[in-house]
Structure 1
Amino acid sequence: MPDLWLPGAEIHDLGDHAPTDQQYPPKAIAHITWDRNATAAAPQDWCTYEDLVNYFTGSGAGDAPHLVWDPFSGRTAQLFPADSRSKSLLSPTESPTRTNRAGRVVIQIEAVFFPYCRYQGRVYPRLVDTPCAGWGRIHAWIASWGVPDVWPMGRPADFSGHRDEQVWETRGGWYAHAHVPFNDHTDPGSWPDFTAGSGTPDSPPSQQHPVPPQDPAPARYQVSINGLAYGYGAQGYQVTAVGRALVSRGFGAHYHSGPGPTWTDADTENYADYQGSLGYSGQAADGVPGEGSLNRLLGYIPGQRAVSVAHVVSAARTDPGAEQGHRTYGSEVAIVEQALVDEGLLEQRWADGSFGTRTVAAYAAWQRRCGYEGGAADGIPGQATLHRLGAARGFSVTD
């Protein structure tokens, strides 16, 4: 069975899954968000991917598609599994089909785009004028669900509507929103070709589609998990944390140096080996993390480098007496632990997000290094020592 979730997508499962109507052929529906009205004479700033994801996971959940796709960076959020209907089509009672369900799959994609949007100073009249980053990955996944590479009512080239109930009911393939019977929208206006690659020759790696599974070259695209980037070219403490965890699990064979804070092909290859050990295959084992495998590797999901004093104090008081490996505020504790590792006070293998007895001992050593003694060096973080550790190792501290 193909993957229910697009490999590499950011998963925001809305629940409320419902089956499709299997008597109809498989379909994919192309939309643009068209959240602003702009013209060539009066372009407007692009509405961000984060804004649209927040909308569809909040007040707009009743109109949510399967995928929200940023054609500039390739980031993609998935809100429903492939075998469920989503909710972006009108389905009035007079329609002969339940339009959101009229196919063995009816996978709906909303490109975060409107005509004449302005992105980083450049104006884009049509969706196909963007880099269309990540399109190859989306197309391959949808094709794996049996959706044929055809437009039964013609590939969209403008914003005119064309609807035919018989074609809709009898032919599988790709449909513009402008093609769906009993709907009145005329988007998307254009859509990338099935054989076209994403990105342009001078696009950075994060704006290029991943290499198809049969190509032996490592995947070169990025995903964002909890606001941090992973995949080729990503930078930050989370990259180092992943690399060190891979080495500690025995998946460091492709490193010639490091691991370090910049994601390289070696990180991808090592992560692919780790995914394979979990039973993943194909694109699900292409070496770019998903939330599930990342959580299994680290035991927590890294977040922005900010630590609350109250949170880590709570962890230091709770974790040592709890079940082995218990994590209270694991992502924040992991930042503190990694700083202690970098200070030479804690072994890397104990930087696991659990403020256990070894972390308490390491923090007590840090307190003594800061000049504290006796009960003031008890391994329970305080404002002053935590701020000093943050200043030394590059994370911020809040109350």
Structure 2
Amino acid sequence: MPELWLPGAEIHDLGDHAPTDQQYPPKAIAHITWDRNATAAAPQDWCSYEDLVGYFTGGGAGDAPHLVWDPFSGRTTQLFPADSRSKSLLSPGQSPTRTNRAGRVVIQIEAVFFPYCRHQGAVYPRLVDTPCAGWDRIHAWIASWGVPDTWPMGRPVDFSSHRDEQVWESGGGWFAHAHVPYNDHTDPGSWPEFTGAPSQSHPAPPPGSGGGSPARYQVTINGLAYGYGAQGYQVTAVGRALVAKGFGGHYRSGPGPTWTDADTECYADYQRSLGYTGGAADGVPGEDSLLRLLGYLPGPRTVSLAHLLAAAHADPPAEQDHRTYGSEVAIVQQALVDEGLLEQRWVRGSYGTLTVAAYAGWQRRCGYSGGAADGLPGRDSLQRLGAARGFAVTG
């Protein structure tokens, strides 16, 4: 059975699960949040991903989708499991279908975007003008639920309505909010192209990079570089994960924070173990294989105290390897490993009981005791760990 929860997503389960209507074909519904009205002449600042997640987990829970997707960073929050209906569509009594349930699955995605939003100084007229980071992962997961790569009412290219009840009931595939009968929204206006299978979607080596092994080019995933010459904590995390899984045979020393030919050769062995061939097994990560190796996608070295506390409360009682804020938790876990308080194999992005115990050890090292060394991060201890191991702490 496909995964109920998108691998690597931040999980904020709203509960209130409800089945879908199995007599209809599987569907995915594309939305944008459209939180502000901007124009080419008067762009407005993008409304942040955190704000929208806060809205859908708070007062907007009655309109919540399955996924909230930041197309600039690739961060994604999931609010309902794939086999439950979500709530982003109008479903009035006169509609022949319960629109939020009209399919074997009806997976709804809200891209955090509005036309002519301004993000880090640049203005983006359409969703497809953004990096669409993380789209490959979302698309592959939705396809695993049997949603075909087709738009029964046409691919969205503008903000006009194209609604047809018969097509809606009989067609499986992707629908814009502008296509759903008895609804009045006209979004998303555009949507990224469907991606191929992992063996086809792995980035091709750039011209002049050479076709032999080891490959010597870089890719960027979730804002961080991988491939020959890339540097950073993410390189160490990949190398250590390869060693832990038995794919470290090419290392003579390390692994370390600079990507070398040995990293490439070890990663190629790992890709082949997943069934990749040809250029897709050249030792340079793709998003899918990286997610399968680490269980999360590393991001910039910034950790939110609020996110860490949320994970520390949510992950231990949940199922094994539940990840609330996987990439941020993994940064802290790696720091605890480097401090000798946690084993490398537990750097998984889940703030489980072993991480609680390891963090309590760090708190005691900082001089805390009793209830102040309970394994739940406080600002002082987290900032001291960040200062020691090179990450920043936000609120």
TM-score by length of 1: 0.63
Hey, what's the Cα distance between the residues in 2 that align with 1:387 and 1:121?
A: 29
Aligned residue for 2:243? 247
What are structure 1's unaligned runs of at least 5 residues? 198-210, 224-228, 277-282, 295-301, 307-328, 368-383
Aligned residue for 2:84? 84
Hey, what's the Cα distance between the residues in 2 that align with 1:387 and 1:149?
A: 46
- What is the deviation of 1:90? 0.7
Aligned residue for 1:140? 140
Alpha carbons 1:33, 1:111 under 8 Å: kept: yes
Q: What per-residue deviation string (whole Å, max 9, x for no partner) do you get for residues 347-387 of structure 1?
A: 9799974768xx79x96xx99xxxxxxxxxxxxxxxx9999
- What is the deviation of 1:38? 0.3
Aligned positions, number: 317
| 2:174 match: secondary structure | strand
- What is the deviation of 1:65? 1.0
1:126 aligns with 2:126: yes
Aligned residue for 1:304? 303
Aligned residue for 2:182? 182
Hey, what's the Cα distance between the residues in 2 that align with 1:120 and 1:305?
A: 20
Q: What per-residue deviation string (whole Å, max 9, x for no partner) do you get for residues 48-97 of structure 1?
A: 22222222222222211112222223332222222211110011122111
Alpha carbons 2:247, 2:266 under 8 Å: kept: no
Aligned residue for 1:10? 10
- What is the deviation of 1:391? 5.6
Match of 1:258 among 254, 257, 265: 254
What are structure 2's unaligned runs of at least 5 residues? 205-218, 276-285, 306-328, 348-353, 368-379
Hey, what's the Cα distance between the residues in 2 that align with 1:83 and 1:385?
A: 40
Task: Give the % identical residues.
Answer: 71
Aligned residue for 1:214? 199
Alpha carbons 1:240, 1:260 under 8 Å: kept: yes
1:25-64 map, 5 Å: 25-64=25-64
Question: 1:288 is aligned with what amino acid?
Answer: L
Hey, what's the Cα distance between the residues in 2 that align with 1:25 and 1:135?
A: 23
Hey, what's the Cα distance between the residues in 1 that align with 2:343 and 2:21?
A: 55
Query: RMSD in angstroms over aligned alpha carbons?
Result: 4.7
- What is the deviation of 1:47? 1.4
Describe the shift of the 1:355–1:43 C-alpha distance in structure 2 as closer, same or farther (beyond 3 A).
Answer: closer
Aligned residue for 1:286? 289
Q: What per-residue deviation string (whole Å, max 9, x for no partner) do you get for residues 92-126 of structure 1?
A: 12211110000111111111110111122221111
Alpha carbons 1:159, 1:186 under 8 Å: kept: yes
Hey, what's the Cα distance between the residues in 2 that align with 1:385 and 1:87?
A: 40
Hey, what's the Cα distance between the residues in 2 that align with 1:137 and 1:347?
A: 29
Alpha carbons 1:332, 1:353 under 8 Å: kept: no
1:337-348 map, 5 Å: 338-339=338-339
- What is the deviation of 1:127? 1.5
Describe the shift of the 1:268–1:38 C-alpha distance in structure 2 as closer, same or farther (beyond 3 A).
Answer: farther
- What is the deviation of 1:186? 0.9
Task: Give the structure with higher Rg (CA).
Answer: 1
Hey, what's the Cα distance between the residues in 1 that align with 2:99 and 2:273?
A: 41
- What is the deviation of 1:268? 5.9
TM-score by length of 2: 0.63
Hey, what's the Cα distance between the residues in 2 that align with 1:391 and 1:102?
A: 51
Describe the shift of the 1:240–1:125 C-alpha distance in structure 2 as closer, same or farther (beyond 3 A).
Answer: same
Between 250-259 and 42-51, the greater mean CA deviation after superposition: 250-259
Question: 2:289 is aligned with what amino acid?
Answer: D
Hey, what's the Cα distance between the residues in 2 that align with 1:84 and 1:385?
A: 40
Q: What per-residue deviation string (whole Å, max 9, x for no partner) do you get for residues 9-52 of structure 1?
A: 33333222211101111111111110111011100011122222
Alpha carbons 1:19, 1:85 under 8 Å: kept: yes
